[in-house]
Structures are given as C-alpha cells and as structure tokens.
C-alpha cells in the first residue's frame, strides 16, 4: 500500500470502521467510490454528516430520531398499555412492517454479551426504568433476538421485572412460516416440540 | 422503514451505493455508525470529502494520485522499458508488495465485460495509446485478472498491440505457491498441464 497517495490510504482506513469491512473490501470500496460513483459518494458525505448532526435519541423510546419524540411515540393512536422492548431501530422497522403490534416500543440500543461478562451498561436500562415510571404500561413484550446475546438480554430484563407489577411475555420460538420440517435446523425443531401449542386437551 | 427519521433513511440509502451493501447491511451500518462510532464516522466524512477533492488520475499511469505524477511514475530509478498493464490501483499495490516488477504501470481503471457487449470505453485505451507514444517502452506485460472480464480485456489489449513494435506478455497461469494438487480446482490444474514448463528437453 506504500505507493498509494495519502488521501486514498486515509479513505481506506476510514472505510474499515464499517461492520464486516476488512482491508480488501475497504480498498475496493474506495476504488469504486472514486472511479465510478463520485456523485453518490458526495451524497454519502452529506447524508452521514447530516445524520451525525441531526439524529439523537427519542426521549421516550430511545430510538434514533430528529425531533424530541419519534413518530411512533408521538402517535396518540398507539396503545400505551403494551410496551415492546427491542435491541435496535431496525427491529422496530421490521415489527412495523409485520403490522402486528400497535403498542409502543423501547429500544435498548445494545445487547448484553454473555461472552464478555454480562455488562448491562450495554443496554439502556436506566432510561427504560425512567420510561416505565411515568407510564401506564401494563404488559411488556420482550422482543430480543434468539441468540446468546438476545437470550442474555432477555434474562436481565426478566430479572428486572420480577418484582414489578407488569405482565411480561417474550416472542414465541418455533418453525418459521412456510418452514418445511425437512429443512429446519435441529435446535429450532426441538424448541418447537418443547413449546408445542395445545390444540385440543 | 416508514417510521425511521428522514436523516436516517437518507443515510441508509447513501450507504447502499457501497459495493455488496444491500438494504439490510446499510441499515446495520447506519445503526453502528450513529450508535457506537460517531467519532470514526466523522473521520469517514472528512476522509471521503478530502479524497473526492484531492484525488485525480496520474498523468502517465492513470492510477489515483494527488500530484501530477504518482510516486512510481515520479521515481526515476524504475525501468521505463517495461510497462505492466493492470485493472485497478489495488493491483499495483499487490504487485509492489510482491516486489517482482521494477518497471512502470498503466492502470486501465476498468475491465471489458464480455457479457455486456465488450464495451471498450470501460478501459482507458486512449490514454494508454497516448502514454505509449511518448515513451521508450519495449515490453508490455498484460496483468489483467484471470476472469471472463480480465480475459476479454487481455484480448482487446493483444489486438491493439498486434501491429505495434512491442514485446507483449501475460502473467502465467498455474498452481498457486504452496498449492497441493489434491485441493487445486480442475480448471487451474488443466491450465497448469497445458502451459507446463519444460525442465529438460
């Protein structure tokens, strides 16, 4: 790399902060941006600069937003009695697309990592407690991922709510829609049997 | 996505111009940049803006550089008689790391795509011809990729040089260093047999 100009090397190093982008991908990205996509690259500069300046956290649900409240928290038609707790803003988007929850959200903006000492400062617990104190929430739906991190986060949340007067649930596990048993992995299959739903007793 | 703030959506759309980045990756990148890496994101803004302003093409070899000539073209100790033609700046870096070519380079900044009509405007042929007219080049080493695009580009170059008074060569194909025959793919193996090197006649 010693023969590359400094501005190019600097750009490559800056691109390496993106998730899953190593030195080779960063080099290829830098090449493509400068050779073929200068206009879009300028838009990327502007959009990122704008986002860094404008975006902060919603006062209530902690997701990214530009105003004091995000669109969902500001929508008075949503059911304030049910609060769904998710890992990150993308989960809110996905849930909204599924159109199955008309309550409010709380975005943890992180997960507890059991491989790194269960550090609960990774999730916005203080803000969640504060959020609950001034609310009329009755049911809390834990919608963390079904991964080691998501399970650890769900465990911490369940512990937190143990002595508090809320109904608490977690998303169900099982065969995905359209899933054929032949192709479902063994762990999911086992879970679907353990948590089988009674149809007739 | 309708519930995301505009600045966030704009950033996601801007990130999608990066190679191999789809909507999901872009969403994850935007989240990580804004949640965990704000300082580095600002450096990315600055580095990309700086690169867009500073970087243009070397007058001689067509690679990215900040001055009129790149470091290699400006280096009078390089052998001006041998010119290696490559696809992109990363190839120059790799070749320099291999430390096996002390001549000069010409960077095509593109490849001919046989699946899209062999459009030769994708490579900097005019600039190459111009470069050769004012040079004392004797041998041209075609170092394009061994892919459909690289082969097509090599073919176009070979046609171009057919009537010109240069020695022309192309990188050899064969078993990679440390390659065990058991694990080498059939195409490479066949090529290594066809292009076998005589040891004793």
pLDDT in tens, B75-122: 999 999 999 999 999 889 888 888 888 899 999 999 999 998 888 899
The DSSP bridge pattern shows strands A103-107 and A79-86 to be: parallel
Instruction: Give the dihedral of Cα atoms B134, B139, B145, B147; nearest 10 deg.
Output: 110
Share of chain B above pLDDT 90, in %: 53
Say yes or no for a CB contact (<8 Å) between B88 and A48. Answer: no
* Phi-psi category of residue A117: left, alpha or beta, with phi > 0 → left and psi -120 to 50 → alpha: left
Counting other chains too, the contacts that A114-117 makes at CB distance below 8 Å and 24 or more residues apart are A114/A148, A114/A149, A114/A151, A114/A152, A115/A148
Determine the Cα–Cα distance for residues B68 and B70; give it in Å rounded to an integer.
Answer: 7
Q: Which residues of A touch B8 (CB under 8 A)?
A: 51, 55, 64, 89
pLDDT digits (tens, 9 = 90+) for A115-149: 988 888 999 999 999 999 878 899 998 988 888 99
Rounded to whole angstroms, the Cα distance separating B150 from B145 reads 4
Q: Are strands B56-57 and B64-65 parallel, antiparallel or unpaired?
A: antiparallel
Q: Which residues in chain A have Cβ-Cβ distances shorter than 8 Å to B107?
A: none
A11, A17, A33 member nearest B37 (Cβ)? A17
| Partner residue opposite B44 with nearest CB, options A17, A54, A88 | A17
B35 with A88: Cβ contact below 8 A:
yes
> Domain B64-170 falls in which CATH fold?
Dna Topoisomerase Vi A Subunit; Chain: A, domain 2 (3.40.1360)
Q: Which fold has domain A79-170?
A: Dna Topoisomerase Vi A Subunit; Chain: A, domain 2 (3.40.1360)
- Can you tell me the mean pLDDT for B40-49? 95
Q: How many contacts, defined by CB atoms under 8 Å, are there between A and B? A: 176
Out of A10, A46, A67, the one facing B47 most closely (by C-beta) is A10
CB atoms A44 and B17 under 8 Å:
yes
Mean pLDDT of A8-25: 92
pLDDT averaged over every residue in chain B = 88
Q: How far is A66 from chain B (nearest CA, A)?
A: 6
Written as six digits, the tokens of A196 are 């089988």
Q: Do A14 and B43 touch (CB under 8 A)?
A: yes
Percent of residues, chain B, with pLDDT higher than 70: 96
pLDDT on residue A4: 52
**Is the torsion defined by CA of A167, A170, A175, A178 positive or negative?**
positive
Enumerate the CATH 1.10.8.420 domain ranges in chain A, comma separated: 6-54
Q: Which CATH superfamily is domain A6-54 in?
A: RecR Domain 1 (1.10.8.420)
d(CA A18, CA A30): 13
Residue A197 to chain B, least CA–CA distance (Å): 32
Give the model's pLDDT for residue B2: 45
Nearest CB partner across the interface for B45, out of A7, A18, A48: A48
Terminal-to-terminal C-alpha distance of chain B: 70
Strand-pairing partners, residue A56, are A65
Bridge partners, A167 (sequence order)? A139
Location of each CATH 3.40.1360.10 domain in chain A: 79-170
Which residues does chain B have within 8 Å of residue A71's beta carbon, measured at their own beta carbons?
3, 5
CB contact under 8 Å between A34 and B11, yes or no, is no
Show Cβ contacts of residue A44 under 8 Å, excluding neighbours closer than 6 positions. Answer: A33, B14, B15, B17, B48
Residue B41 phi, psi dihedral angles, 5° rounding: -65, -40
Question: How many Å lie between the alpha carbon of B184 and the closest alpha carbon of chain A?
Answer: 23
* CB A116 within 8 Å of CB A95: no
């Amino acid at each position: 790399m010693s023969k590359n100009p400094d501005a190019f090397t600097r750009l490559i190093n800056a691109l390496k902060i993106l998730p899953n982008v190593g030195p080779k991908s960063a080099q290829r990205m830098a090449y493509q941006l400068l050779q073929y996509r200068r206009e879009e690259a300028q838009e990327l500069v502007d959009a990122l600069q704008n986002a860094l300046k404008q975006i902060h956290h919603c006062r209530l649900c902690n997701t990214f937003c530009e105003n004091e409240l995000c669109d969902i928290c500001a929508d008075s038609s949503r059911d304030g009695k049910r609060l769904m707790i998710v890992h990150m803003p993308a989960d809110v988007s996905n849930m909204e697309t599924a159109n199955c929850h008309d309550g409010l959200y709380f975005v943890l903006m992180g997960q507890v990592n059991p491989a790194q000492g269960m550090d609960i400062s990774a999730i916005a617990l203080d803000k969640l407690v504060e959020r609950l104190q001034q609310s009329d929430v009755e049911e809390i739906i834990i919608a963390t991922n079904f991964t080691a991190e998501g399970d650890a986060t769900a465990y911490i949340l369940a512990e937190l709510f143990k002595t508090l007067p809320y109904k608490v649930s977690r998303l169900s596990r099982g065969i995905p829609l359209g899933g054929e048993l032949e192709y479902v992995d063994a762990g999911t299959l086992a879970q679907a049997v353990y948590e089988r739903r009674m149809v007739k007793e």
